[in-house]
Chains A and B, each alone.
Chain A
Amino acid sequence: MSQAARSSALARQRFRTAWLFLAPMLAALACVAVWPLLRTFYFSLTDASLSDLGDYGLVGFENFLVEDGGYWYGLLTDPLWWTSVRNTLVFAGASVAIETVLGVVMALVMNAAFVGRTALRAAVLVPWAIPTVVSAQMWAWMMHDQFGVLNAGLMGLGLIGEPIAWTADPDLALFSVILVDSWKTTPFVALLVLAALQMLPRDCYEAAKVDGVHPVRVFFEVTLPLIKPALVVAVIFRLLDALRVFDVVYVMTGNAEATMTMSVYARQQLVDFQDVGYGSAAATLLFLVIGVMTALYLVAVRAEMTRDMR
């Protein structure tokens, strides 16, 4: 056998091996991710019900929008759906903004040299490790309007005059849930930013110090631009996560309108109201929103990469 033929036979064999080794993982993902997603898309075009998933008919886009006798019906005309869209956007925007600011501050502190730095780097993992359900319950108890320690503490400090109904007041509930979510997820941002800070070159700081530049200016003009790539990744990851938020909202405030997010809305339709077709339509829209954002992000990354290459 010639050298070339042998190496091509070897290459073919390697290729077969590759697919053989990939097959179990791909089969598993096709089974638990691709297939269920496609079924959800399909269900969104049907009138399926949870009580009997085998018996349904195709209804086209009626779950999304339909005209009947001069009136429009469907998901896109449901004010509660639009409330949940608004809540989701407010939740995602506010919690990611808070996490980013707090996360950067924490990372800067963790990056400073001081006694107790190791302890702080361990402590930051505590909220991250706590299950979301547990953190939601812990905070719900702390935010209890009558017996909560948060009201007791704020009143003791004289910051508020009377107890606040953190989760029961419709004007405050979303804000409270945002606070709880940022507590749990700030550590993730802080750790990512800390990793970026640790990779920064020391010499530009030395130079700034010699020149007597104010530390705040050093942060905004040297540090921030250098950690920007890591910060952008952290923000995108958190944003995509926050847009599909479910656990913390559902455990703290259930299906309440004031905090209902797109995931909570879709689950309520699917499970509580057994309306698989309509719920799947809502879930499909949520998927599209997140899919479009992911695609935009990937395009932006690619554009930046090609610009940097030039």
Chain B
Amino acid sequence: MAATTRRAAWRTVKRLAFWTLVAAIFFYLLFPFYYAVVTSMKAGPAIFEPDFWPTRFDLDNYVAVFAEQPFGRNILNSLVIACAVVGLSLFLGLTAAYALGRIRFGGRRVLLLAVLSVSMFPQVAVLSGMFELIRSVGLYNSLGGLILSYLIFTLPFTVWVLTSFIRDLPKEIEEAAIMDGATPWVVLTQVFLPLMWPAMVTTGLLAFIVAWNEFLFALTFTLTNEMRTVPVAIALITGGSEFEVPWGRIMAASVVVTVPLIVLVLIFQRRIVSGLTAGAVKG
């Protein structure tokens, strides 16, 4: 009898410990963003009171972020850049994946590894060369310069994931089309493309997030407020006086650009997780 109650008590302790751990993990993952939301809705001196619970629902900071600087323009810049980068990466990645995944030729494995090795490049190691390139083609302080330079991040994993996906598609579907005399371009766009959507959504989303979040190139290759992207704008937000950091506005801007991203990620949760793990595990 005593043994069973002791065992039951022990089980309760263990269950309690497990749920404490779960709660701690949830808190750790979510509290910082929650606190940013709470802060963003406080105006004036209220911001200097560290409250754990929302005390006000003031949207002053949100209005001010858009009124005091071209933050709307910054969001538009980031959107245009991210969409262009996704489109370009998918086009270049898809054509390359067809060659690397469906056509047997010597050296394709080495080529694939060479492409992948680009993702190991430290950003700062291409900074001066990229700066020179962008200036020489007249893309300094323009969205085009950033679109071009972001391909260095997105192409390696796009090519890698799309290649491993297209390689695993059955042989028969392609053979039938080739028998009918279809050109490779037709085979790729009419036969493979409709089957590739899962992999395209995954890589497209990852490319979008990379372009949306990039900081160093955007900081270095743009000059004026109007050309800045969201991360640079958030890093450089200044308030009315030079000595006071406008934390409320920074948090409001952070919430504005992060909420859509989180929604997107949660909707496509499964696709993103499979893309992340495919990129790494198959490496």
Docked CA distance A190–B209 (Å): 19
Enumerate chain A residues within 8 angstroms of B120, measured Cβ to Cβ: 240, 290-291, 294
CB distance B131 to A266 under 8 Å?
no
Known: A24-B92, A53-B135, A237-B280. A183 touches B32 (CB 8 A): yes
Enumerate chain B residues within 8 angstroms of A19, measured Cβ to Cβ: 99
Q: Does B84 contact A (CB under 8 A)?
A: no
- CB-CB contacts below 8 Å: B215-265 with A: 215-216, 220, 230-232, 234-235, 247, 250-251, 254, 257-258, 261-262, 264-265
Nearest A residue to B278 via CB reads: A195
Enumerate chain B residues within 8 angstroms of A247, measured Cβ to Cβ: 215-216, 231
Docked CA distance A37–B119 (Å): 13
CB distance B128 to A43 under 8 Å?
yes
Q: Does B155 contact A (CB under 8 A)?
A: yes
Enumerate chain A residues within 8 angstroms of B213, measured Cβ to Cβ: 131-133
Q: Does A173 contact B (CB under 8 A)?
A: no
Enumerate chain B residues within 8 angstroms of A18, measured Cβ to Cβ: 99-100, 103, 105, 108
Q: Does B96 contact A (CB under 8 A)?
A: yes
CB distance B127 to A283 under 8 Å?
yes
Q: Does B143 contact A (CB under 8 A)?
A: no
Q: Does A148 contact B (CB under 8 A)?
A: yes
Nearest B residue to A234 via CB reads: B280
Known: A29-B115, A125-B269, A290-B122. A141 touches B251 (CB 8 A): yes
Interface residues as binary, A20-41 with B (CB distance below 8 Å gives 1, 0 otherwise): 1110111011011101111110
Known: A21-B184, A129-B262, A138-B251. A53 touches B21 (CB 8 A): no
Enumerate chain B residues within 8 angstroms of A26, measured Cβ to Cβ: 96
Q: Among B26, B52, B277, point to the contact of A192 (Cβ < 8 A).
A: B277
Chain B: interface size category: 35 or more
CB distance A36 to B129 under 8 Å?
yes
Enumerate chain B residues within 8 angstroms of A127, measured Cβ to Cβ: 29, 32
CB distance A286 to B155 under 8 Å?
no
Q: Count of chain A residues with Cβ under 8 Å from any Cβ of B? A: 97
Question: How far in angstroms is the closest Cβ of chain B from A234?
Answer: 7
Q: Among A121, A126, A147, A262, point to the contact of B33 (Cβ < 8 A).
A: A126
CB distance A276 to B123 under 8 Å?
no
Question: How far in angstroms is the closest Cβ of chain B from A78?
Answer: 16
Q: Among B49, B188, B258, point to the contact of A129 (Cβ < 8 A).
A: B258
Interface residues as binary, A253-290 with B (CB distance below 8 Å gives 1, 0 otherwise): 00000000011001100110000100110011011001
Of A22, A146, A263, A271, which is in contact with the most chain B CB atoms at under 10 Å from its CB?
Answer: A22
Q: A: which residues have CB within 8 A of B?
A: 14-15, 17-22, 24-26, 28-29, 31-33, 35-40, 43, 48, 50, 53, 105-106, 109, 112, 114, 116, 119-139, 141-142, 144, 146-149, 151-153, 183, 187-188, 191-192, 195-196, 230, 233-234, 237, 240, 243-244, 246-247, 250-251, 262-263, 266-267, 270-271, 276, 279-280, 283-284, 286-287, 290-291, 294
Q: Can you list 27 residue pairs at the A/B interface with Cβ under 8 Å?
A: A14-B104, A19-B99, A20-B99, A22-B99, A29-B151, A35-B129, A36-B127, A36-B129, A40-B127, A48-B128, A126-B262, A129-B262, A129-B264, A132-B213, A132-B215, A134-B258, A141-B35, A191-B277, A192-B276, A192-B280, A244-B122, A263-B216, A270-B124, A283-B124, A283-B125, A287-B121, A287-B122
Q: B: which residues have CB within 8 A of A?
A: 18, 21-22, 25-26, 28-30, 32-33, 35-36, 39, 47-50, 52, 88, 91-93, 95-96, 98-100, 103-105, 108, 111, 115, 117-118, 120-133, 135, 148-149, 151-152, 155, 159, 184, 188, 209, 212-213, 215-216, 220, 230-232, 234-235, 247, 250-251, 254, 257-258, 261-262, 264-266, 269, 272-273, 276-277, 280-281, 283
